[in-house]
């Protein structure tokens, strides 16, 4: 029998896979459904509309009802989301939006309860839970676009087969997760959706101030920059999927380094913001030259920023909050990170007006300017 933490991690992987298998299909829906860049990036980002409420409600619920009680409906919602998106490919386009929102509900539930569940069953080291949660989610978020891009590029019905593969994956993994052992919950008084810890100076400046850049950097890599250069490659859909996989899987690869940074002079959040600054500058160069191959090192930089900041935020949350509020504060952190999913949508509007190069350089200036105040708060609270 597989260890409990691995069974839970597989559940996180499968749901994350389904959430991002949609990412390389943006040009597919532009071609088949006649949608423009703003419309497809809106559909891509709108699943945050299902994700954030599920996170904010699911976090406290998982603290009261247990982690498994939230993961089961998450698995069902993930399957339903893919089914509805398939319907959007053959029926009315609004089903695409509905399907993405349902997929967001699944991700919201699993990110609130799943990360906390992994934390509780990963007793071999203090950092194991955060690292395993980030690796499982990043592997799913990276594997989804890789498989989806390859399948959609070279198989018929590109808006069908990627989602059928996701449904098959869920059919294999759901039985492993359904009855996985979960720690008993201690029912206390009813708590607020957002715990008081979320309003402390340490959370606001050491976590919340940069949290939207976690997914902001990642989605700029595989949704915005790919839309600018993919058509200059012989296989644009597969290229988009490859960049998505490279971005997210780089986030997995940096986890050991990010863990070591936690005990060093350089806080991991600062390393993540610094990498984001360099990555966004490189992104501006990609937008200026329209050279698709320059996107490869850029995706690595933006993926490294994503992975470093994600594990940094989870570790800070674990240190800040008591166990009975862990799910709620993880939910608050993830909700803030997912604001970044609207970055490609915003750039699809602002880019044609002011230039993608200008917008990306402004983003780099913001991340660079954030380093000083975040550094001061992190070091002051660490010393205190």
pLDDT in tens, 115-126: 788 888 887 776
Q: What are phi and psi of 56, to 5 degrees?
A: -70, -35
CA–CA dist 344, 133 (Å, integer): 25
Count the Cβ atoms, other than its own, within 10 Å of residue 371.
18
Cβ atoms of residues 121 and 66 within 8 Å: no
CA–CA dist 184, 202 (Å, integer): 30
The answer on 152 and 255 residing in a single domain is no
**pTM of this prediction?**
0.88
Mean pLDDT value of segment 61-71: 86
Range of the domain at 29: 1-179
- On average, the pLDDT of the chain sits at 88
Q: For residue 327, give the nearest of 212, 226, 182 by alpha carbon.
A: 182
DSSP alpha helices (H): ranges in 34-67? 37-45, 48-65
The answer on 341 and 241 residing in a single domain is yes
Least confident of 45-54, 113-122, 245-254: 113-122
Q: For residue 356, give the nearest of 299, 291, 287 by alpha carbon.
A: 287
The answer on 64 and 126 residing in a single domain is yes
* Span 282-308, pLDDT tens digits: 999 999 999 999 999 999 999 999 989
The answer on 198 and 174 residing in a single domain is no
Half-sphere exposure (Cβ direction) of 131: Cα atoms closer than 13 Å = 16
Mean pLDDT value of segment 73-86: 98
186 is a domain residue: no
Distances 216 to 7, 252, 315 between C-alpha atoms, Å = 29, 17, 20
Distances 93 to 48, 60, 88, 148 between C-alpha atoms, Å = 18, 34, 5, 20
Residue with tokens 């860049």: 37
CA–CA dist 243, 139 (Å, integer): 13
Tokens read off for 258: 């990010």
Burial class (CB in 10 A: 0-12, 13-18, 19+), 157: middle
188 is a domain residue: no
Q: For residue 215, give the nearest of 307, 145, 297 by alpha carbon.
A: 307
Tokens read off for 361: 């350089």
The answer on 141 and 209 residing in a single domain is no
Q: How far is CA 84 from the centre of its chain?
A: 21
189 is a domain residue: no
Mean pLDDT value of segment 83-92: 94
184 is a domain residue: no
The answer on 226 and 164 residing in a single domain is no
The answer on 199 and 132 residing in a single domain is no
275 is a domain residue: yes
The answer on 96 and 149 residing in a single domain is yes
What CATH number does residue 319 fall under?
A: 1.20.1250.20
CA–CA dist 269, 208 (Å, integer): 11
Total structural domains within the chain: 2
* Span 301-330, pLDDT tens digits: 999 999 899 888 888 887 777 777 776 787
50 is a domain residue: yes
The answer on 219 and 131 residing in a single domain is no
Per-residue confidence (pLDDT) for residue 384, from 0 to 100: 52
């Amino acid at each position: 029998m597989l260890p409990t933490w691995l069974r839970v991690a597989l559940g996180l992987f499968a749901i994350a896979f389904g959430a991002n298998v949609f990412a390389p299909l943006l040009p597919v829906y532009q071609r088949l459904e006649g949608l423009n860049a703003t419309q497809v990036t809106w559909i891509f980002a709108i699943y945050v509309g299902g994700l954030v409420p599920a996170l904010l409600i699911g976090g406290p619920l998982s603290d009261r009802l247990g982690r498994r009680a939230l993961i089961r409906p998450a698995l069902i919602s993930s399957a339903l989301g893919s089914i509805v998106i398939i319907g959007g490919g053959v029926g009315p386009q609004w089903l695409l939006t509905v399907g993405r929102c349902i997929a967001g509900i699944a991700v919201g539930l699993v990110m609130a309860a799943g990360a906390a569940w992994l934390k509780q069953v990963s007793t071999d080291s203090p950092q194991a839970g955060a690292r395993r949660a980030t690796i499982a989610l990043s592997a799913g978020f990276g594997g989804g676009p890789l498989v989806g891009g390859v399948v959609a590029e070279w198989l018929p019905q590109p808006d069908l087969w990627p989602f059928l593969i996701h449904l098959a994956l869920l059919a294999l993994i759901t039985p492993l997760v359904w009855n996985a052992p979960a720690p008993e919950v201690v029912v206390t008084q009813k708590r607020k959706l957002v715990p008081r810890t979320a309003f402390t100076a340490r959370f606001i400046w050491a976590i919340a101030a940069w949290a939207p850049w976690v997914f902001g950097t990642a989605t700029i890599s595989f949704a915005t920059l790919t839309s600018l250069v993919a058509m200059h490659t012989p296989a644009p859909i597969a290229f988009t999927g490859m960049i998505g996989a490279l971005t997210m899987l780089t986030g997995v690869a940096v986890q050991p380094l990010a863990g070591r940074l936690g005990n060093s002079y350089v806080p991991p959040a600062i390393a993540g913001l610094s990498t984001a600054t360099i990555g966004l500058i490189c992104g501006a160069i990609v937008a200026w030259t329209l050279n698709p191959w320059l996107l490869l090192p850029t995706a690595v930089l933006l993926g490294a920023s994503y992975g470093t900041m994600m594990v940094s935020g989870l570790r800070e949350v674990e240190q800040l909050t008591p166990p009975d509020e862990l799910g709620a504060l993880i939910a608050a952190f993830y909700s803030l990170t997912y604001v970044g999913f609207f970055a490609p949508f915003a750039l699809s509007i602002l880019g044609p007006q002011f230039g993608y190069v200008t917008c990306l350089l402004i983003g780099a200036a913001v991340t660079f300017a954030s380093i000083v105040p975040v550094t001061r708060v992190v070091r002051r609270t660490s010393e205190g």
